[in-house]
Amino acid sequence: LPSAVLLKDMKLMDVKLGQLGSWLAMRDFTPGGILGAIRRGYERYYNKYINVRKGGLGGISMLLAGYVVLSYTWSYSHIKHDRRRKYH
């Protein structure tokens, strides 16, 4: 039988929908906790896609695609106002 995992140690993908509120209440939302989560996420991404023996373009292309999506969302309000404007 698999050993029981505490709710606070479970990953988000393993949490059932009914447990989501309790799981979120156990998270650390202090600035240090948020920075630690960002650091752990960056390290996981770096070790999985960048720091590999035979790497490809997958990790770099995901990073560039994320940048393109982020820059589009930042400039969307400006783009939205320009789309119905006539240039003549």
- In this prediction, residue 82 carries a pLDDT of 67
Handedness of CA 62, 67, 72, 74 (dihedral sign): positive
Contact 62, 70 (CB under 8 A): no
DSSP letter assigned to residue 60: H
The pLDDT tens digits of the residues spanning 33-42 come to 999 999 998 9
Secondary structure class of 67 (helix, strand, coil): helix
Residue 1 pLDDT: 42
Distance CA 20, CA 9 (A): 13
pLDDT at 15 over 80: yes
Neighbour count for residue 59 (Cβ, 10 Å): 16
The residue ranges of every structural domain in the chain are: 1-54, 56-87
Using the predicted structure, report yes or no on whether residue 83 has a pLDDT greater than 70: no
Q: What token pair was written down for 73?
A: 């969302």
